[in-house]
Amino acid sequence: MIQHLRILFALASLLLIVQLFPSMAAADSRPTFSLEAIVKGARVQVEVTGHQLSDVYAYQFQLAYDEKRLRFVAAESPIKGFTVEPIVKEGSILFAHSKIGKAEGTDGKATLASITFEMKAGGSSEFTLHDIGLVDSELSMVELETNTVLRTVLPALFPDIAGHWAEASIQKAVELGFVTGYQDGTFRPERQVTRAEFSAMIVRALEWPAPIDSELPFTDRMSIPNWARSDIAAAVEAKLLKGYEDGTFRSEKLITRSEMAAIIVRAKGITPELGLKPVFDDTGDIPLWAQPYTAVAVQEGLVRGIGNNLFAPLRNATRAEAVHLIVSLKSMLNEA
């Protein structure tokens, strides 16, 4: 607790504003706190509210959460002032906030913080608010060791993957953090994947850093979305994929199953033998350059056909297929 309080006092010193909270004489006038969880799709927002506050100028607290089911996204305070960058470690968040300059402390009831999480799994979950420190304008402080516990049941993660053949892989991918759902709480497993999206998925799953010089060489680099540029740069440097003969990358082009198989084999560090071919009835539809990669991907158990001894190499890959493939690859690499 002492170590955590240093953050609050450091903030106060820097801003020349913090003044401590006078001791509270009457037990019934001591502040109390409550937690509320608001679920919006795949996001969970936890609101921390103080009651019976008196001249609260700055404050800090810790919030414990279930990191197996939730991933911290962001935290903010609706109270005007300065928020210290939250410290997130092992399922606990240290949050500190202070007003700035000459301002009256907050009285009565107020929302102290809104903390946003992203769901990794549904089910019973618990939040615990503890180690609360309050500061006011008279340079007096109170430390409250009371625990406020909120138990809630999170909804099923992505109802549109229930019973899907890739359900387990999707849940694992979300847990690993390299793919997320949509704001409406769906995953959309059958939605098709672009070259930019697949590049981002595999680079983030394998935790490859962006190269120091991440300037992309493609003629259409200005059309590549900002969120994907560093991931594409990492994928290109690792020789997982490259541009087209005309110098373009075509980031929004939907990726095919044969392209995806080739990228996965390269990521596994395998160089296929020239002339190697898979045994599918539609092998002739697989581009010649991709046939050795597809054969290796099948041999390694990374990909499979779609039934009736067909591979459908030119069919655009779905989010479910992409995620399942990457999860399988990551599992193999971890076992190697």
pLDDT 10s digits, 263-322 = 999 999 999 998 899 999 999 999 999 999 999 999 998 888 889 999 999 999 999 999
**CA-CA-CA-CA torsion for 306, 251, 240, 256, nearest 10 degrees?**
10
**In the chain, where does the domain assigned CATH 2.60.40.680 lie?**
2-154
What per-residue confidence (pLDDT) applies to 29? 76
Share of the chain above pLDDT 70, in %: 91
pLDDT grade for 7, boundaries at 50, 70 and 90: low
Average pLDDT, the chain: 87
Residue 212 has pLDDT above 80, yes or no: no
pLDDT digits (tens, 9 = 90+) for 171-185: 889 888 899 888 788
Strand, helix or coil for residue 304: coil
Residue that the structure tokens 């309080």 belong to: 5
Q: What is the pLDDT of residue 28?
A: 59
CATH class of 2-154: mainly beta
- Return the pLDDT at 13: 45
pLDDT confidence of residue 65: 97
In whole angstroms, give the CA distance from residue 219 to residue 53: 59
Instruction: Find where tokens 């401590």 sit.
Output: 20
Which SS3 state, helix, strand or coil, does residue 123 take?
Answer: strand
Asked if pLDDT for residue 18 goes beyond 70, the answer is no
According to the model, what pLDDT value does residue 285 have?
95
CA dihedral 99, 100, 104, 109 (to 10 degrees): -20
Q: Is 311 helix (H, G, I), strand (E, B) or coil?
A: coil
